[in-house]
Amino acid sequence: MTLISPNPKHQAGVFTITVNGSAVEALSGMSVAAALLHAGIPCRTSVCGEPRSALCGMGICFECAATVDGVPLRRTCQVICRAGMEIATQ
């Protein structure tokens, strides 16, 4: 899916991150959780097999936890995307 911003100034801020080995587009200033949500990728799967994503959006609940650049259990709602990031969902 191509990420298109309604603001033409943001088009220059589109870059690629890698999620579970696949390229995902993100906008400058976007959180990792927002990029995952936009791409339709859950942050993790519950013990019952249900897809989970950011719940609180402010770093309290850990529902959005994923491995970011090799660091496990990062709260993706608190991490801003940058070009070349490697994210592995759990």
Nearest to 54 by CA among 36, 68, 70: 36
With 60 as the cut, is the pLDDT of residue 10 above it?
Answer: no
For the chain, domains (ranges, CATH) are 14-88 (3.10.20.740)
The residue with tokens 């402010």 is 58
How confident is the model at residue 7, as a pLDDT? 60
Q: How far apart are CA 42 and CA 28, in angstroms?
A: 21
With 90 as the cut, is the pLDDT of residue 30 above it?
Answer: yes
pTM, two decimals, is 0.83
Q: Is 13 helix (H, G, I), strand (E, B) or coil?
A: helix
In this predicted model, which residue has the larger pLDDT, 63 or 2? 63
Confidence grade of residue 56 (pLDDT, cut at 50, 70, 90):
very high
